[in-house]
Amino acid sequence: MNGKGAEKGISESSQTRILDHVKKISYMPNFSAQGLRTGKTKTICMMVEDIADPFFSSIARAMEEIAYMKGYKILYSSTENNTQKAKDLIQFYRRRQVDGYILAPPPGIEEDINELIDDNLAVVLFDRTLIGIEADNVLVDNFDISYKAVKHLIENGYRNIAMITLYSEQIQMTERERGYKEAVDEIKNTYFIKNIGFYDHPASNVQEIQRFIDLNNNIDAVFFTTNYLAEMGLEAIRNLKLRIPEDLGIVVFDDDKLFRLFSPTITAIAQPIGEISEHVIKLMLMLLSGKGVKKAKKSIVLPAILQIRESSRPKSD
């Protein structure tokens, strides 16, 4: 029944007879019992900021598919970027003895992650890392693609480029900021940066962005560092009755299926969902198989793609 009939020297006919009977009574091993005996549950948990975010839900879908083929099931949870909720979730999953942890970690859970690793549990981080943690991780080259995106605006004639971003010390965000700054530095211009709170009310954020754009009316382009900031920003721009890209060029970090259908279409940075998912699951399976546990941790950095569309087309003036 474990597929080792041949090497154990059990006759073919016995094997078929037994397997037929197993099929007939539709025997299915009890998972709790297996879990109790082996300590393995064939379950991997995945914690992201928000499972309803298109980026994370697409990743979830892709990972689910790959993991399922390997006999693993994935449990999803949304951390809401909340440190305490993430800590609680980790405890919750430990009780459930999940085999592996795939995390897009919120800030402040360094210690909890290190405990997992110390206890020899499989951990793979993605989208971001935390300082002081040695874990396998899969990242996108946030700095490089952000630099390229802003550089693209510059090459198309935009000069006073603003960045609208979160108040955040998280590495994926600081890297995006670093890319923006490096590109702006090359034209020796000043930064126009507006920070938004993650937990603030969307309506007041729209107001904030609106005021920012209005006050800095020399701005001729905006780089939004996340999709939901862009959503609020597009509303602000609409309220201000500014034309895209004539009055304001736009580039957004994270693509959306609908951006290519906007009028004008929206230039966006597309993260390689499929590749990220594949690498994460591959690293996870390697850890679960026992290989690589003692090895040096791997950090995989993938390139993202700038989807150039109309919202950043060359300035005519």
Partner DNA sequence: CTGAAAGCGCTTACAG
Positions that interact with DNA (CB under 7 A): 8-10, 27-30, 33-34, 36-38
Cα–Cα distance, 195 to 165 (Å, whole number): 5
- For 25-134, strand residue ranges (E) read 43-48, 73-78, 100-103, 122-126
Closer residue to DNA (CB): 14 or 217? 14
What's the order of all strands across the beta sheet hosting 122-126? 73-78, 43-48, 100-103, 122-126, 136-140, 299-302
Cα–Cα distance, 46 to 34 (Å, whole number): 22
- Report in angstroms how near the CB of residue 196 gets to DNA at its nearest: 45
Closer residue to a copy of itself (CB): 178 or 260? 260
- Pair 240, 216: CB distance under 8 Å: no
Contact letters (x/-) for a copy of itself, 254-283, by CB under 8 A?
--xxx-xxxx--------------------
- The pairing of beta strand 267-270 with beta strand 305-307: antiparallel
89-102: b or e for each residue (b if 16 or more CB lie within 10 Å)? Answer: bbeebbeeebbbbb
Q: Measured between alpha carbons, how far is residue 14 from residues 17, 20, 171, 235 in Å?
A: 5, 10, 59, 70
Tell me how many degrees the CA angle 225-269-248 measures, rounded to the nearest 5.
65
Cα–Cα distance, 217 to 221 (Å, whole number): 11
Contact letters (x/-) for a copy of itself, 51-90, by CB under 8 A?
xx-x--xx-xx--xx--x----xxxxxx------------
242 touches a copy of itself (CB under 8 A):
no
- Pair 84, 104: CB distance under 8 Å: no
| Residue from the set 182, 200, 235, 278 that interacts with a copy of itself by CB under 8 A | 235
Q: Which does 9 bind (CB under 5 to 8 A by kind): DNA, a copy of itself, none?
A: DNA
Q: Which does 10 bind (CB under 5 to 8 A by kind): a copy of itself, DNA, none?
A: DNA
Closer residue to DNA (CB): 78 or 97? 97
211 touches a copy of itself (CB under 8 A):
no
Closer residue to DNA (CB): 38 or 84? 38
- Pair 264, 312: CB distance under 8 Å: no
Closer residue to DNA (CB): 100 or 106? 100
Closer residue to a copy of itself (CB): 71 or 132? 71
| Residue from the set 70, 92, 293, 303 that interacts with a copy of itself by CB under 8 A | 92
Tokens of 65: 């598919």
- Report in angstroms how near the CB of residue 88 gets to a copy of itself at its nearest: 9
Give me the residues that bind a copy of itself (CB under 8 A), please: 28-33, 35-36, 41, 50-52, 54, 57-58, 60-61, 64-65, 68, 73-78, 91-92, 94-97, 231, 234-235, 238, 256-258, 260-263
